[in-house]
Amino acid sequence: MRILFSILLIVFSIQKGGAQNKPLKIGESAPAIALPAVNGDTLSLSSLKGKLVLIDFWATWCSPCVEEQPVLKSIYEKFGNKVKEGKFEILGVSLDKSKDNWQKGIDQLQITWPQISDLKFWKSPVAKDYGIEGLPFNVIINEKGKIVAINLHGKALETFISNYLKKM
Amino acid sequence: MKHLIVLLSAFVIFSGSLSAQEKQEPWKNSQLLAPKVLADKITKNQTADVLILCVGPDAVIKGSVDLGAAHDAENLVKLKDYLKDVPKDKEVVIYCGCCPFAKCPNVRPAFTVLNEMGFRNARLLDLPKNIKVDWLDKNYPSND
């Protein structure tokens, strides 16, 4: 009886632990994402296969995320020729709740790269799939859909993208 | 004796810096409410005397009232309006959960309203990281 109780306790603990995030690892396949864009059309991460993709998890309610958007904009412009050649893309995944705020944020910040969101705030399943514990957060995936960098910001982010694109 | 003086001085400096830290915020440390305490109350249906107000992007906590992000002046008016008929001794718990307190634009204006309106049992839900890590990931009761 005691053994049975111990087993049940262990199983229960494992199940409770399962609710927590599994941290991402470099080299793993990126978890699938397929969410609506502002116009309602679904955009999937798999449709960007063949490109180096910077997935930027952000929200208009997150001030550091908003402050980072001009940095991303300059990266997007700097590597604009690679975007045209189909070798690089940024995918914005918003954890906003309000569609109005999301749309206004995109307009005000003049974001031109693809944006998607399920408008579920921290309840979004992608937040759990990617083990996000705070924003801003980003992941870079290569042309094969494998994770090559996690949570780089500022100069380190730009340098990584630049070096990677040179090899492609 | 020398040791006693050193110890006393350290205590005075330490307690002084603590109260200075508290003074920077509209709430006192004693007004922070641990998520588990609130979660247990909700699970045991013991929230009849508690008003749980969301002042952030989304009312994730079960039974909480969504008043919108308090950094928005319109939502702050909504909060004042909502509270005007609430007894001043009612336990009012506010939460946001977008980000750590240091970066949150909502909890300070909302808690200041509670203070200005004279709520004697105002509490702030202590979410050190955010509502996902400190509530949802712990499987505490949420609005589905």
What is the residue-level pLDDT of chain B in tens, covering all 144 positions?
556 555 555 554 444 444 444 558 999 999 999 999 999 999 999 999 999 999 999 999 999 999 999 999 999 999 999 999 999 999 999 999 999 999 999 999 999 999 999 999 999 999 999 999 999 999 999 997
| Mean of pLDDT values over A122-143 | 96
| Mean of pLDDT values over A40-54 | 98
pLDDT of residue A1: 52
Q: How many Cβ atoms are within 10 Å of A125's Cβ, its own excluded? A: 12
pLDDT tens per residue across span A51-109: 999 999 999 999 999 999 999 999 999 999 999 999 999 999 999 999 999 999 999 99
For residues A152 and A138, the answer to whether their CB atoms sit within 8 Å is: yes
Q: Does B35 touch chain A (CB under 8 A)?
A: no
Question: Closest Cα to residue B101, out of B135, B140, B129, B67?
Answer: B129
* Closest B-chain CA to A101: B57
> ipTM beyond 0.85?
no
Which CATH superfamily is A2-167 part of? Glutaredoxin (3.40.30.10)
Number of H helices and number of E strands within chain A?
6, 7
Identify the residue among B54, B55, B58, B71 best suited for mutation to test binding to A, counting A beta carbons within 10 A and taking the highest. Answer: B58
For residues A111 and A24, the answer to whether their CB atoms sit within 8 Å is: no
Alpha-helix residue ranges (DSSP H) falling in B47-128: 73-83, 107-116
- The amino acid at residue A107 is D
List the domains of chain B with CATH numbers: 27-138 (3.40.250.10)
For residues B94 and B123, the answer to whether their CB atoms sit within 8 Å is: yes
| Inter-chain touch A123–B100, beta carbons under 8 Å | no
pLDDT of residue B20: 47
Radius of gyration, alpha carbons of chain A = 18
| Cβ neighbours of B98 in A, within 8 Å | 59, 61-62
Q: How many residues does chain A have?
A: 168
